[in-house]
Chains A and B, each alone.
Chain A
């Protein structure tokens, strides 16, 4: 088990190292001068432009050798210094991002967990059941093929704009100030529902199909036939199939994290939901490169942490990893 976690952690540390290096390299090795690019495209007041130029030159430190630039980049990172936002000048990027992260997490975590749970249950139920399968399969495939932003747009248009049941944009009503009052929390939940539903539905389709296919696969396995020949009740056989199919689904969850995060980003953009996606849009529109790079690092970090949590879940579910045998995820 220690070997399993050691190996996993090693890969995650290496990945973070690579991600930071990429984050550092891209502005420096892309064609063109990043400082000039930023200044020319950011529409700033003259005095702001001047202080930005001085600041940027200092931050990039383009006159010192590359290895020193690299080291100072890491130094800033360790101190939690990701630079200053252009869009919200002169707020530090770290603070801007930390304010947005709770909104993204509040969308993503319930959507991921619930869609995974419900999709698995539903997919297992549908497998080898004629009429249920005939409806689940096409609906599931259409849902996974749907671009996240399109479903979000459709929901916002139908339930928000046309029906008027849900608000179209924002994280809470603009007439309220953030507080712990019941009114504010209700507004928060009301604004949260559509983006959540949109994320949930697209992800749900994928899990349902995955589980359905896996269960069918397991129902063809030798142990299933053996159990059946022993006269085991069908419920029991299906339960075994479900538990076996759960393992690849968990690995699938780890693989899907990047896609889910991307889905959350665009969903937030559609609903102007004040999470990381909204920051990305503002950063792109305002040429706020530090903010964009900061969001990149936060996303990578979040995905790595989530991967590690899934690894722990794997150990809980799969006894083989506990006894030191190589499980599927090792």
Chain B
């Protein structure tokens, strides 16, 4: 699931990044970028988090090639603990847990990138429009945002997924994206509000720039660190949401995912039989991936926010 506290932080806190875009000179921008890189490379949280995520990415990319069978094929003796032949053991039906894990990791990344990306896109679109336009547009968009915010996302996904005859990872990601954007919209709107009355935005308006150009060129770059962190949180949130949905039994109807692995393990009494190799890897994978994303975010916050750097 998503971490509401981090979301809340992004929503509630006043701009933490120094919004000193009054110096728009290209030289300053390059200097700023170099400074960020300098602090980024020295931030242990960021580097460690990034390393774990990269590690999982490699496993997801290469792992499925190490086995010559599909994730749901019945290839080995049933219920075997990890061995040299089957690194993560086998399920009650003799499926290779390692193959399931690596294929499941692929679905996880797909859901995270697609679902989180779509939610970010919608959230930014609504947030920028509401915050920049203000007035009645803002009222209407804010109303929609508040309504979607209160409705529990998983409950909606439950009934939508239940009525779908064939379910795939991509539709799942799209539905997650369509329902988990509101807090981003709120955060972006609040930020845009505080930015749109700044001198440099007025200046751009005086010089005849259109609304879209001002948002893209003047406002968005000044909160790029925020947007990046929001996207990371959305990725984690989408992964956890998909795992929950899959665990309930509304995941992809064919193929495999980490949530589905846990669903199968519980369904076929792996707990009672003590087949820990069946349910530990998928949960551990999700926890490690999402956890390192969150820790990465803390690192990013320290990189972008000079107030936290001295710690």
Contacts and interface: CB of A to CB of B under 8 A. Distances in A.
Q: Note whether A and B form a binding pair.
A: yes
Interface of A: 11-12, 14-15, 18-19, 22-23, 26-27, 30-32, 34, 37, 137-138, 141-142, 144-151, 153-154, 156-157, 160-162, 168, 206-207, 209-211, 213-214, 216-217, 220, 248-249, 251-253, 255-259, 261-263, 265-266, 269-270, 280-281, 283-285, 287, 289, 292-293, 295-296, 299-300, 303-304, 307, 328
Contacts of A213: 5, 9
Nearest to B250: A284
B244 A266 contact: yes
7 contacts: A15-B151, A37-B165, A145-B290, A258-B154, A261-B152, A263-B1, A265-B244
Given A145-B236, A154-B283, A289-B163, A206 B155 contact: no
B150 to A, nearest CB: 5
Nearest to B265: A153
B48 to A, nearest CB: 10
B7 to A, nearest CB: 6
Contacts of B149: 255
Given A157-B271, A303-B150, A259 B287 contact: no
Given A153-B266, A161-B274, A261-B155, A14 B244 contact: no
B159 A161 contact: no
A210 B6 contact: yes
A270 B266 contact: yes
The 5 closest A-B pairs by CB, nearest first: A210-B5, A150-B283, A258-B152, A145-B291, A256-B4
B243 A259 contact: no
Contacts of A283: 162
Interface in B228-266: 236, 240-241, 243-244, 247-250, 259, 262, 265-266
B112 to A, nearest CB: 13
A162 B276 CA distance: 11
Given A11-B146, A141-B295, A300-B155, A148 B5 contact: no
A160 B290 CA distance: 27
B297 to A, nearest CB: 9
A149 B155 CA distance: 16
A148 B8 contact: no
Interface residues of B, number: 65
A114 to B, nearest CB: 16
B286 interface: yes
Contact of A149 (B2, B7, B244, B280): B244
Contacts, number: 212
A175 to B, nearest CB: 19
B8 A252 contact: yes
Interface in B145-175: 146-147, 149-156, 158-160, 162-165
Contacts of A280: 158, 248
Contacts of A281: 248-249
A209 B7 CA distance: 12
Contacts of A168: 271-272
Given A146-B287, A157-B274, A296 B156 contact: yes
Given A22-B156, A150-B262, 7 more contacts: A18-B147, A144-B3, A146-B287, A209-B6, A210-B5, A284-B250, A300-B152
Interface string B266-305: 1000011010100110111011111101110010000000
Contacts of A304: 150
A122 to B, nearest CB: 13
Given A210-B6, A249-B8, A299 B13 contact: no
Nearest to A304: B150
B155 A258 contact: yes
A267 to B, nearest CB: 10
Contact of B163 (A11, A26, A144, A209): A26
B249 A252 contact: no
Contacts of A19: 151
Interface string B1-26: 11111111101110000000000000
B271 A161 contact: yes
B143 interface: yes
B248 A284 contact: yes
B159 A147 contact: no
A269 B247 contact: yes
Contacts of A26: 159-160, 163
B163 A299 contact: no
A262 B1 contact: yes
Interface in B87-139: none
A143 to B, nearest CB: 9
Contacts of A18: 147, 151
A11 to B, nearest CB: 5
Contact of A251 (B1, B12, B279, B290): B12
A30 B289 CA distance: 34
B212 interface: no
Contacts of A285: 249
B283 A153 contact: yes
Contact of B154 (A149, A262, A289): A262
Contacts of A37: 163, 165
Contacts of A220: 307
Contact of A147 (B158, B163, B165, B240): B240
A134 to B, nearest CB: 11
B183 interface: yes
Contacts of B308: 216
